[in-house]
Amino acid sequence: MTRVFQTLPSPRFPDPADAPALRWGVLAPGAIAADFTDALHTHSTQRVVAAGSRSADRAAAFAAAHGVERSYGSYEQLVADPEVDVVYVASPHPQHAELALLAIAAGKNVLIEKPIAVRPHEAREIAAAAREAGVFAMEAMWTRYLPQTDILRQLLADGVFGEVRVVTADFGFAATFDPASRLFDPALGGGALLDLGVYAVSWASFALGAPAGVIASGTLAPTGVDEQVALILNSADGAQALLSTGLRSGTPSLATICGSAGRVETDSPFWAPSGLRFHEADGTLSIHWEDPYGRPGREGMVYEAAALARYVAEGLTDSPLHPLDEAISTLETIDEARRQIGALGVGAAAAG
């Protein structure tokens, strides 16, 4: 039998330090903003030069802790800073749309933490505003920009897997129930799908494109948000994505792409720098690729920042690897899944 996976393509952008340097401003400096800032300063020439919060003390403390030059006690002050080239929106996701639109109105390029918004209509507003203003806007789905993802992107484009028929992904952890926490409070965009499931749905979209049909089954937390969800996404050609996410138990955080000529299984976690195991059609393990670049965990967020800097330098206003329309489609899938299981907060807005 001829081996399909004899050699692998090389990632095309393995060094984020090669990207043109931009000056970044961070809105809502919390834990993920801290990891993002540290990743940029450690592994690239990108620099966070300003932090903005509704609390001047919080912004100042963040700036002092992470080597950031300036801090502001309002979001409006940060987006008005003429020395900020791009704004990173790191707030909880119910504020993503508001803060992204604020930055876009100020003429700033913007990177918006995933999910890009809570509702599809909010994501569409962001896309329309960015296009009208002529600024770059991108969802921070950082998995799309990892070296391992670029290997898979090239193999999919070359048809190496053959006809892709099944895609899988899971992401879950055990969270202590707290009705006031962002994970369980519907007013804070709580639920597994928006927080964790977005990675799995995005993986399916990467491999198969937008689904033609969505089947969801799940359970709700006492607050009414989705606590555990299983999804079947059907493609127009009959391929399927089998996805799961939840807040009740830890899951392996693995993903696969299975085709007629062979399959790939990720190491854990699939959404961060890890590894890839390539199997021939008969199940034989052919290659185990392990990430060699030394940017584990959230340090891998540097790749999305470097990609954005390259796109801005090229004069683009949308990511060719993860366009705004795809981020909108992912939210539409999540919204439909939430509607099917009766998650609180969907209501009339789901039609938007």
For the domain covering 16-143, report its CATH number: 3.40.50.720
Q: Enumerate the CATH 3.30.360.10 domain ranges in the chain, comma separated.
A: 147-293+324-351
Q: What is the pTM of this model?
A: 0.96
Distance CA 22, CA 314 (A): 13
Q: Work out the burial of residue 176: count CB atoms within 10 Å of its CB; fewer than 13 is exposed, 13-18 middle, 19 or more buried.
A: exposed
Does 3.30.360.10 match the CATH number of domain 147-293+324-351?
A: yes
What confidence tens digit (pLDDT) does each residue in 118-138 have?
Answer: 999 999 999 999 999 999 999
Average pLDDT over the chain reads 96
Which has the minimum average pLDDT: 30-34, 90-94, 344-348? 344-348
pLDDT, average across residues 36-52: 98
The torsion angle over the Cα atoms of residues 162, 164, 166 and 170, rounded to 10 degrees, is 100
Look-up of token digits 């539409």: 332
Distance CA 305, CA 318 (A): 14
Element holding 243 (H helix, E strand)? strand 240-246
Alpha helices in the chain (DSSP H): 31-43, 56-66, 75-79, 96-105, 120-133, 147-157, 192, 198-208, 302-313, 324-341
Q: Enumerate the CATH 3.40.50.720 domain ranges in the chain, comma separated.
A: 16-143
Question: 112: closest CA among 95, 125, 132?
Answer: 95
Amino acid at 343: A
Q: Which residues contact 350 (CB under 8 A, 6 or more apart)?
A: 119, 335, 336, 338, 339
